Structure 1
Amino acid sequence: MSLSIVRAGALKHVPHGFFGRVGGLSTGAMAGLNCGLGSGDDAEAVEANRRLAADAIITGAPLASVHQVHSPTAAIVREAVTHSERPHADALVTDRAGLLLGIVTADCAPVLLADVQAGVIGAAHAGWRGATAGVTDQAIAAMISLGASIERIAAAVGPCISRASYEVDSAFTERLLAEDPGSDRFFAEGPAHRPHFDLEAYVVGRLAAAGVRKIEAAGLDTYSLEGRYYSYRRSTHRGEVTYGRQISIIGLAP
């Protein structure tokens, strides 16, 4: 089955991929490769979709994930656990070869990280809450605790909602500017004279501020590219009851 996979040159020495909705077994409003366990989709279809994606990275490798809660928390994992046992976190890190790390998104920014020399990888789900609270910082700190070096860590930010599609309210803008006045560069006035936030650029900025030197951003808008990606905001604007999630996966070859 043909799947849509975006790969980053910054991570070319590590098995990885940012998946879209193309392919998969889900039908209806979530047709395609829906990998969201909490989406309300048919559970067997979601499990099969996750296996299809995992096998496209490392055939037969176990896939570890977390119960995402829009937090800055990063968990160190060394095995895949049952869905009910997944830690509540929004980033996961490992030094175990043959273990895949996966996070799901639907407008939030997926971030994959690797220090190839140390054999340490990470994956982070960076929505605005997690991103501004420091989820990428905690992922990097967890990687360093396993032997990674900030000078060697490479990072890739996958498809997410673009600034053109991401209108925010004034309260969000004022709060972020109060915490970091320099973040004004991530906002622009939209066509309705309301602020728009550049989540991708913000995440890239956080990674750079943490000391990551090699960063690549996909520059793909999940909201506007309906045929390629699921989007929470697009589904909300249409009044749909639920929405699919795409998965992003990274692993260390066994």
Structure 2
Amino acid sequence: MHTWHWRTWNDLPYLTCRLLEPWKHGFFTQHFWSQPPTRLTEILHPTAQVYRVKQVHGDTVLVPSEVEAMAASAGNLSPTDELPPADGLVTDQAGQAVWVCSADCTPALIGDVVTGHVAAVHAGWRGTAMKIVPGAIARLQSQGSQLQDLRIALGPAIAGEVYQVSKQVAAQVGATVVSTSPDDVDETLVALRQLSDPPVLDDPEPGRVRLDVRRINVLQLEQLGVDAEQIAIAPFCTYQNPDNFFSYRRNHQKKAQWSGIVSK
């Protein structure tokens, strides 16, 4: 718990992570839902440029210059125009605020202690099956980042103990961290259960299991060569904490909480 800290703005709570102390950042709660990223950025860093994308549960990661180029080519005249489809943003200059929203999916904020670049990633089960967080790290590496310099915080998301999915979905996601084919569902699930701190748990309903998506992301990162001490997981479940977080699985409402970080 000491890694995560509750902060307040106008008596409204949001979370920060000790690993990301060098950067202005926040995992905002449902209490901020009426505040768009432009307003939330003012809380963190009033002069930062604000970037977000249209999240589509994919694996595309963009840099702000690409977002701006897409907006220009589309003839967008205002921030309310169509956003480019993507699920991750990696900064390419200082003073850029990048944002993602989530309601059960994993919000991942990443910072490089040497370059100052940061990333914000929306990693649901589909994005995790496509290894979007390693994809964001690959973009950081293309800009000069070294793995040992990264700090990664996985924010509030639905916990594995309550996230029921089909065995097929669990196998598709789990095949990214074990040497089996996602087509062989049973073999993949057996391999996942043999891992330390298994990312799948039994479910009483036939054909279903419980899936810990954040644990899968940690395993993907460790297989890249990221040390466990460079990663922090928020000890909060969106589904089980209705006072602070929206949960689509719980309420089936299209509402979410924002998570953002500002580059140095």
Structure 1 letter corresponding to 2:43:
A
How far apart are 1:136 and its partner, in Å? Answer: 0.6
Do structure 1's residue 244 and structure 2's residue 255 form an aligned pair? yes
Do structure 1's residue 4 and structure 2's residue 17 form an aligned pair? no
How far apart are 1:85 and its partner, in Å? Answer: 4.7
For residues 12-38 of structure 1, what are the alpha-carbon distances to aligned partners after superposition, in whole Å with 9 as ceiling and x for unaligned? 11111111112xxxxxxxxxx22xxxx
Cα distance between partner residues in 1 of 2:142 and 2:93: 14
Alignment of 1:130-141 (within 5 A): 130-141=127-138
Structure 1 letter corresponding to 2:201:
A
Secondary structure of the corresponding residue to residue 224 of structure 1: coil
Structure 2 letter corresponding to 1:246:
Q
52 and 84 in structure 1: CA distance in 2 versus 1, 3 angstrom threshold: closer
Secondary structure of the corresponding residue to residue 165 of structure 2: coil
Alignment of 1:1-254 (within 5 A): 1-22=10-31, 33-34=32-33, 46=34, 48-78=35-65, 82-175=79-172, 176-177=174-175, 178-179=181-182, 181=188, 182-184=191-193, 185-190=198-203, 192=205, 194-213=208-227, 214-236=230-252, 242-253=253-264
20 and 160 in structure 1: CA distance in 2 versus 1, 3 angstrom threshold: same
Corresponding pairs, count? 226
> Which has the larger displacement, 178-187 or 216-225?
178-187
Q: TM-score, normalised on structure 2?
A: 0.79
Confirm or deny: 8 A CA contact 2:214 2:233 kept in the other structure.
Answer: yes
How far apart are 1:145 and its partner, in Å? Answer: 1.1
Cα distance between partner residues in 1 of 2:170 and 2:22: 38
Structure 2 letter corresponding to 1:221:
C
Write 1 or 2 for the structure with the bigger share of strand.
2
Cα distance between partner residues in 2 of 1:87 and 1:139: 16
Q: CA RMSD in A?
A: 2.0
Structure 1: gaps of 5 or more residues: 23-32, 35-45, 237-241
How far apart are 1:94 and its partner, in Å? Answer: 0.8
83 and 183 in structure 1: CA distance in 2 versus 1, 3 angstrom threshold: farther
For residues 216-241 of structure 1, what are the alpha-carbon distances to aligned partners after superposition, in whole Å with 9 as ceiling and x for unaligned? 110210011001001111113xxxxx
For residues 128-185 of structure 1, what are the alpha-carbon distances to aligned partners after superposition, in whole Å with 9 as ceiling and x for unaligned? 0001111011100111111111121110000000012201112223444533934342
Structure 2: gaps of 5 or more residues: 1-9, 72-78, 176-180
Secondary structure of the corresponding residue to residue 164 of structure 1: helix
Confirm or deny: 8 A CA contact 2:37 2:99 kept in the other structure.
Answer: no
How far apart are 1:50 and its partner, in Å? Answer: 2.8
